[in-house]
Amino acid sequence: MNEIKRIERKLVHKGSILDMYEDTMLLPNGKTEKWDFISHRMGAACVLAVKPDGKILMVRQYRNALERETLEVPAGKRDSLNEDTSICAARELEEETGYRAGKLEKLLSLKSTVAFCDELIDVYLATDLEKIGEQKLDESEDIKIESWDLKELMDMCYAGKLQDAKTVAAIMAYAAAKHS
Domain ranges (residues) in the chain:
5-40, 44-178
The kind and range of the H/E element at 160 are: none
130-169 pLDDT, tens digit each: 999 888 888 888 899 999 999 999 999 999 999 999 999 9
Query: Which residues have a catalytic role annotated?
Result: 139
83-136 pLDDT, tens digit each: 999 999 999 999 999 999 999 999 999 999 999 999 999 999 999 999 998 888
Asked whether residue 31 carries a pLDDT value surpassing 90, the answer given is yes
DSSP letters, 124-135, are EEEEEEEE-S--
**150: buried, middle or exposed (CB in 10 Å: 19+, 13-18, 0-12)?**
middle
What pTM, to 2 d.p., does this model score? 0.91
Q: Can you identify the CATH homologous superfamily of domain 44-178?
A: Nucleoside Triphosphate Pyrophosphohydrolase (3.90.79.10)
Q: DSSP class of residue 112?
A: S
- pLDDT, residue 13, reads 97
